[in-house]
């Protein structure tokens, strides 16, 4: 298994990556279907400040089923609109039901409370619907 990723925030690129991970609202999570088809989905996420990203998923989502056959994933942020400032992270993902639910994670709630309300949920109803934490261990980074 690949080693986890360290993001060097002392470089301009590393600082930009960390800023995306701290402040971005959505990231594209790409899983791979058993057919080999990449399947990107925008997801809300929480970075641990090191090498892990957590998302909260519908438990029956295709992305969760894909992880059973291929745990390799990519995360990417939208560019700046001109094809520049690309950030792509790669890693391995796993369903992590032992991790806190969305409504039991103060950092996640602080980040997404307004968005949760905007889509018609309370923290509890959101956590009930998106009830499966998925943990991504970051192993690679590319971009410019």
Give the start-to-end residue ranges of the domains of the chain.
12-143
> Tens digits of per-residue pLDDT, 63-96?
999 999 999 999 999 877 777 788 999 999 999 9
- At residue 1, the pLDDT reads 54
- At residue 144, the pLDDT reads 83
- Please name the fold of domain 12-143: Pnp Oxidase; Chain A (2.30.110)
- At residue 96, the pLDDT reads 98
- At residue 82, the pLDDT reads 73
Q: What is the pTM of this model?
A: 0.93
Q: Which of the residues in the chain have pLDDT under 70?
A: 1-2
DSSP string, 3-71: PPP---TTSHHHHHHHHHHHH-S-EEEEEE-TTS-EEEEEE--EE-SSSEEEEEE-TT-HHHHHHHH--
In DSSP terms, which residues pair with 45 in a beta bridge? none
């Amino acid at each position: 298994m690949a080693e986890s990723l360290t993001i060097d925030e002392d470089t301009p690129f590393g600082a930009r990556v960390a800023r995306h991970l701290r402040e971005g609202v959505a990231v594209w999570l790409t899983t791979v279907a058993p057919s080999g088809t990449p399947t990107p989905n925008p997801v809300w996420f929480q970075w641990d400040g090191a090498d892990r990203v957590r998302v909260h998923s519908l438990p029956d989502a295709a992305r969760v089923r894909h992880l059973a056959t291929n745990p390799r994933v990519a995360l990417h942020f939208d560019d700046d609109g001109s094809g520049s400032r690309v950030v792509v992270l790669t890693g391995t993902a796993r369903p992590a039901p032992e991790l806190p639910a969305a409504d039991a994670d103060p950092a996640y709630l602080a980040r997404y409370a307004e968005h949760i309300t905007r889509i018609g949920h309370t923290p509890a109803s959101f956590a009930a619907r998106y009830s499966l934490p998925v943990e991504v261990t970051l192993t690679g980074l590319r971009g410019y």
